[in-house]
């Protein structure tokens, strides 16, 4: 009868201590063992690569000796709350040999199942990611500061009759008299309610045309501020669309304009059929920004003075106008 035997264990197949050390030192993360006093009992070569502090200078020292002072309280609280069956994650800053701060993420757990100490931990250097995040936050703060200092109102609104705000810059208080918080959190305070009743329909129509054609819009209209004062503003913006082409909203910038004569001028020339075309050409160039309202006024006066047959008084359906009663001068 042949007896079956378990294969004999080959001691040579077990990794040696030097092989285990070599394995640990090949890792790109720090591996550390802490005792009950939170002293470092074992640590691999990656620690020296990250901190510049040798293993010999590290072993036997308390882990908090290497932490940034502001992070010691978080570490102490973690050590007070840790349990044998828990796995903890903590971020902190290490102070390297050169004094440079290294951001690290540590994953910490007990080595033995039902015994808290010793603890094993892996420590990953996340300094590059944190620095990139800090740069992004700094850039965002800088951009936000720039936006909020502008004497204008940057906005993102829903495409409804109230133009409900989803975002608005701090400049809205200068334009509307309301703070950004009020514009965002109080439904009764809406841009739509501030637009002059005579201009609201025109504004809605022009924006919808731009949204349909996927073009930008530039609209001038009257706005009633929180204190009841009426101002003229310029609103320039465009639509926001989903991948399927659905209109998600409108974003743009609103600023107060000093050109307060164009609307009256436009209404006036509509009553002058024999001067309408040349004057409207002048008005169009003014609207397009080729010259300002004062230049528009001067060119219009020159046009009238140079047209034969124009009398001192021009009769229109809205009344009688004289050159001394030119509406653009008020």
- What is the C-alpha to C-alpha distance for residues 295 and 301, in angstroms, rounded to an integer? 10
Token pair listed for 76: 């102490």
Overall pTM > 0.85: no
Q: What's the number of CA atoms in the CB half-sphere (13 Å) around residue 164? A: 8
163: Cβ contacts below 8 Å, ≥ 6 apart: 157, 190, 191, 192, 250
- What is the C-alpha to C-alpha distance for residues 268 and 9, in angstroms, rounded to an integer? 107
Among 311, 298, 299, CA closest to 272: 311
CB 156 within 8 A of CB 251: yes
CB 86 within 8 A of CB 114: no
Q: What is the pLDDT of residue 301?
A: 56
Angle between helices 276-287 and 293-305 (to 10 degrees): 160
Q: What is the pLDDT of residue 315?
A: 37
Model confidence at 184, in pLDDT bands (50, 70, 90)?
A: confident
Residue whose pair of structure tokens reads 């620095």 in the numeric block = 131
Residue 134 has pLDDT above 80, yes or no: no
Region 168-185: mean pLDDT is 89
- How many CB atoms are closer than 10 A to CB 284? 11
Reduced DSSP (H G I as helix, E B as strand, rest coil) percent helix, strand, coil of the chain, to 5: 40, 25, 35
Q: What is the pLDDT of residue 325?
A: 39
Q: What is the pLDDT of residue 113?
A: 84
Residue 116 has pLDDT above 60, yes or no: yes
Model confidence at 4, in pLDDT bands (50, 70, 90)?
A: low
- What is the C-alpha to C-alpha distance for residues 39 and 65, in angstroms, rounded to an integer? 10
Residue 66 CA to its chain's centroid (Å): 36
- What is the C-alpha to C-alpha distance for residues 200 and 81, in angstroms, rounded to an integer? 61
Distances in whole angstroms, Cα of residue 219 to Cα of each of 84, 91, 98, 196: 67, 51, 59, 13
- What is the C-alpha to C-alpha distance for residues 77 and 86, in angstroms, rounded to an integer? 14
Residue 311 has pLDDT above 50, yes or no: no
Residue 200 has pLDDT above 70, yes or no: yes
pLDDT, tens only, 239-258:
999 988 899 999 999 999 87
Q: What is the pLDDT of residue 56?
A: 93
Task: Identify whether 118 is preceded by a cis peptide bond (ω within 30 of 0).
Answer: yes
Region 154-170: mean pLDDT is 91
Give the dihedral sign, CA 42/44/47/48.
positive
Distances in whole angstroms, Cα of residue 35 to Cα of each of 39, 89, 121, 299: 6, 18, 11, 90
């Amino acid at each position: 009868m042949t007896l079956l035997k378990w294969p004999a264990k080959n001691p040579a197949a077990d990794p040696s201590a030097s092989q285990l050390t070599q394995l640990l030192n090949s890792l790109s993360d720090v591996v550390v063992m802490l005792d009950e006093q939170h002293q470092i009992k074992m640590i691999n070569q990656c620690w020296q690569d990250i901190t510049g502090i040798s293993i010999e200078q590290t072993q036997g020292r308390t882990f908090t000796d290497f932490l940034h002072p502001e992070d010691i309280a978080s570490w102490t609280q973690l050590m007070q709350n840790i349990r044998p069956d828990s796995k903890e994650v903590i971020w902190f800053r290490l102070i390297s040999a050169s004094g440079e701060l290294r951001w690290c993420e540590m994953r910490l757990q007990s080595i033995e199942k039902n015994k808290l100490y010793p603890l094993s931990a892996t420590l990953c250097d996340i300094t590059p990611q944190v620095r990139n995040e800090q740069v992004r936050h700094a850039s965002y703060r800088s951009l936000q500061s720039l936006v909020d200092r502008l004497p204008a109102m940057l906005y993102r609104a829903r495409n409804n009759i109230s133009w409900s705000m989803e975002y608005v810059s701090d400049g809205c208080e200068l334009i509307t008299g309301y703070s950004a918080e009020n514009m965002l959190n109080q439904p009764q305070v809406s841009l739509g309610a501030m637009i002059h009743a005579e201009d609201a329909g025109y504004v809605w129509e022009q924006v919808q045309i731009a949204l349909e054609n996927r073009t930008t819009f530039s609209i001038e209209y009257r706005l009633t501020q929180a204190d009841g004062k009426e101002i003229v503003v310029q609103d320039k913006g465009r639509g926001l669309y989903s991948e399927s082409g659905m209109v998600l909203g409108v974003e743009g910038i609103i600023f107060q304009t000093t050109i307060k004569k164009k609307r009256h001028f436009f209404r006036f020339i509509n009553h002058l059929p024999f001067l309408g075309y040349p004057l409207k050409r002048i008005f169009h160039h003014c609207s397009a920004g080729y010259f300002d309202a004062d230049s528009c006024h001067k060119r219009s006066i020159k046009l009238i003075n140079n047209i034969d047959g124009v009398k001192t008084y021009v009769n229109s359906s809205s009344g009688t106008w004289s050159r001394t009663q030119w509406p653009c001068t008020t």
